[in-house]
Amino acid sequence: MDLNEVKDDVGPEKIVQVYDPSTGMRGFTVIDNTALGPAKGGIRMTPSVSVKEVFRLARAMTLKNSLAGLPFGGGKSGIIYNKDADAAKRDIFLKSFAHSLRNLVPSEYIAGPDINTTEKEMETFVKAHGDFNAATGKPADFCKIIRGKKVCGLPHELGSTGLGVSCATQVALKHAGIPVSGAKIAIEGFGNVGYFTFKHLEEAGAKIVAISDSKGCLYNENGLSFEEIAKVKKDKGSVTLGRGRMLPGHKLFELPVDVLIPGALPDVITRQNMNSIQSKIIVEAANIPIPLDVEKELSKRILIVPDFVANAGGVISSWVEYIGKDSKYMYKTVKDKITKNTQLVLTKSKKDGVNPRDAANKIAMDRIREAMLKRSKKFR
């Protein structure tokens, strides 16, 4: 990748490419900006991951961490890995990658889970590296005594991202003057994010009328039950076999709902289907579910909570784990920070007459540039 294609006055600070000829491991880490703290971002393992892709994700983490008010900068890593051909080398690659980054982790970069990496891979990475804070998102039973205190992992499987999305959704509903109780909601995806988003929104009194997975969409205008859907998914393998109408997956985006939550795949709302969307609010639980140019146009008629505002629960959980707190503290912190930050963004958006993404970007970038200015004064 040509650095001139992507560099600006914020970053990237470092692009590290590593190769281990003894194992065949090839990977890279992009440290975008560390003005607010060490760069934080996950490790994805896919056959097509590239430096350019990792840079885009690192920049998203820079903004997400800044907006969330965390003492983290933005970073991301990638390991070229084909889970079919290289399955036996997963742990070998992770251990080799951890060893290669010893001089940067955790002083400049802290790892975490991403595509094809979970709490188990984070444990492998940390053990190979040797520092308990080399990664977050570790298993809950992976613990260490630090300064006389037992500290443990906080896996993302605890549902921090979904909890945050539910909080952002409730703020957006109130901002739009729609009561949370009875609000009709459609959620794309029933993985970790969709699962906990559904659970927490139902507990708040909202009515989830549609849910989808890879098999299609289930729609019931009278509302779906979280408990029933979770059981159907576990027992029969798909949410579409619950009580309601089974529809093609793409139809979820066209339903007459108050809130649409794209929570699985990127670029699911495009120029081809944008005019079919009937929801009053979109809360982006997935990363980049709408191309930015399309989002900008949709924002003229739909209130959109951007991805790096709504789905920051995971990195907030990472910070809680990093400072050695427990899951109870994590749940409260995610709820408080996502609620406060969504309110801040939507209020600024309305006040300045700009869309929420522009408002969020302005808040995040102002904080980063202020921190960079303070850092630069130390060298004068």
Length of the chain in residues, anyone?
A: 380
Q: Copy the structure tokens of residue 161.
A: 């991202």
| Burial class of residue 46 (count of CB atoms within 10 Å of its CB; 0-12, 13-18, 19+) | middle
Q: Are 341 and 67 in contact (CB under 8 A)?
A: yes
Q: Which of 76, 34, 69 is nearest to 51 (CA)?
A: 76
Contacts of 103 (CB under 8 A, 6+ apart): none
Q: Are 85 and 91 in contact (CB under 8 A)?
A: no
DSSP-assigned states of every residue in 141-184: T-EEEETTEEEE---GGG-HHHHHHHHHHHHHHHHTT--STT-E
* Options 14, 40, 52, 76, the catalytic residue: 76
* 120 counts as catalytic: no
Contacts of 28 (CB under 8 A, 6+ apart): 15, 16, 17, 18, 51, 54, 77, 78
Q: Please tell me the number of Cα atoms within 13 Å of 67 on its side-chain side.
A: 34
Q: Which residues are tagged catalytic?
A: 76
